[in-house]
A and B are shown apart, each in its own frame.
Chain A
Amino acid sequence: MVSTPHGGRLVQIRQSADSSAFAGFTREQTITIGNDMRNLVANIANGVFSPLEGFMGENDYLSVIDQMRLENDVPWTIPVLLPISGKVGMTTGDEAMLTDQEGLPVAVIECGETFEISKKEYAMKVFGTEDEAHPGVSKVYEGPSKAMPGKLKAVARNDYGRFADRTLSPKETRILFSERGWNTIVAFQTRNAPHINHEYLQKSALALVDGLFVNPVLGKKKSGDFTDDVILASYQALIDNYYPKGSVVLSALHYEMQYAGPKEAIMHAIMRKNFGCTHITIGRDHAGVGSYYGPYAAQDVFKEFPDLGITPFFFKEFYYCKKCAGIATERTCPHSEEERLNFSGTKLRKMFADGQTPPKEFMRPEVAQVISQSKAPFVE
């Protein structure tokens, strides 16, 4: 049986067929949002962020940053906010329309009382640092210092635009898992094209469950990351060539990475629980960036949540060991780091730019071919 939705209910705010729901809003009652926020609205509407039905109010916000739980005690580690700049005309109970950059309706929300955010407090409590070099912290510092609570009343669009045919909602994955007869499903979070070490981690987990859910994050990323097209195409190549037929579901997650390390690992688990997964893999430096978090801090944090409702599989880092002549981890291999085959992101990018491909011990040739054939495999 697939996992129970987080908080006990899969939120479903269906796309409204009634266009009048989005008419009659004045300029003052309209809030323009960017593409990442539009995806966030779709995620809330489709239940990816269940049990949230909209953007958080102040009580939930404070509870999340202080206690890592919603006000009703349900585990939650990163606030989901609608940042607001300038003067706000709406008051509690008013309705406001969210539009995209072209002015097209996205959703109607019921407004709550706007509240102030202390950016430094947010940074420290969510990211564990106030360092502006941290991409999550810098985004908070650049953004507004007010937030508007807002329950979604109607959504004009609950799709994600690009990669629609490679994006499943939680309702769809739950039915898919059930149709495949899977009772235990392990989620794999990624923002990368797959290396051999990712494949071994996935297969180690897959050996223990019925199915693997590969759920790459698409959306805004750091410079030097793989592009969305390359991530999806390279995973498809890997699955087609190296996994038993019917053992994997590949579906995109449209979500902006926060790089919040341990706190984001919990959010990754919650989202995958809503997709129906019973397990999630947590490897080395999950959702981390730079050296802000300990290599296994994202595993330690799970000890705080006996009621999370999804079981983590913890793994040490996988690598190819030249002496072992195979894939190993520090728990299975006694050799020094010098024996490990590894490439930094910079070296990998240079290799592809020079028309070279990594050795097959590091990356499957079919995956390398997808990257080589892409005109721009990396985010500028």
Chain B
Amino acid sequence: MIKEGANPQSQLIIYNWRFSPQQLPTKYTTVSIPQTLHARLEALISGKTGFKSVSDYVTFVLREVVAMHETSQVPEPFTSSDIEVIKARLKALGYL
């Protein structure tokens, strides 16, 4: 389990794109993970996956997970009256 805390070993480094490789993250924080998990992740990414560090990998995975959870909480961005007005326009334009 990942916990808030200050563990320099698990410092999160934000991914950088090749146009600005010299850039370092302007804002970051630390989280703590069990050393055993850290070791497993280190072994997982060593040599072949393109992740430069465990922090890179953790950031990548967490962003994926967070996005998935955020997506499931988003309501429809329109009301039922919006729908009728828009359907009428779509019909008039030949889309429906």
* Cβ-based interface call for B67 (8 A): yes
- Distance (whole angstroms) from the CB of A63 to the closest CB of chain B: 8
Chain A residues positioned under 8 Å from B86 (CB to CB): 171-172, 175
Determine the chain B residues whose CB is within 8 A of the CB of A301 once the complex forms: 17
Take A47-B77, A168-B95 as given contacts and tell me if A303 and B61 are in contact as well, using a CB distance cutoff of 8 Å.
no
Query: How close is A335's CB to chain B, nearest CB, in angstroms?
Result: 32
Tell yes or no: B14 within 8 A of A by CB: yes
B90 touches A176 (CB 8 A): yes
Number of B residues whose C-beta is below 8 Å from A?
Answer: 32
A interface secondary structure, majority: helix
A175-B78 in contact (CB<8A): yes
Task: Find chain A residues with CB under 8 A from B36 CB.
Answer: none
A309 and B77 contact, CB distance less than 8 A: no
Residue picked from B15, B17, B23, B61, most chain A C-beta under 10 Å: B17
Does the CB pair A175–B74 fall under 8 Å? Answer: no
Are B90 and A172 neighbours in the complex by a CB distance under 8 Å?
Answer: yes
The answer to whether B26 touches A62 (Cβ under 8 A) is yes
Within 8 A of A (CB), among B57-96: 60-61, 63-64, 66-67, 70-71, 73-74, 77-78, 82-83, 86-87, 89-90, 93, 95-96
On chain A, the number of residues with a Cβ less than 8 Å from chain B's Cβ atoms is: 40
Q: Cβ of B90: which chain A residues have Cβ within 8 Å of it? A: 168, 172, 175-176, 179
B17 touches A68 (CB 8 A): yes
Q: Does A231 contact B (CB under 8 A)?
A: no
In the complex the two chains form, what is the Cα distance from A66 to B16 in whole Å?
Answer: 8
- Closest chain B residue to A167, Cβ basis: B93
Contact B77 A174 (CB under 8 A): yes
Task: Check: A145 CB closer than 8 A to any chain B CB.
Answer: no
Is A307's CB within 8 Å of the partner chain B? yes
Expressed in whole angstroms, the Cα–Cα distance for A124 and B18 within the complex equals: 11
The reply on A10 being an interface residue by CB < 8 A is yes
Could you say which residues of chain A place their CB within 8 Å of the CB of B64?
306-307
Q: Which residues of B contact A (CB under 8 A)?
A: 14-20, 23, 25-26, 50, 60-61, 63-64, 66-67, 70-71, 73-74, 77-78, 82-83, 86-87, 89-90, 93, 95-96
7 tightest A-B CB contacts, nearest first: A307-B67, A10-B77, A306-B64, A307-B63, A128-B19, A4-B71, A4-B74
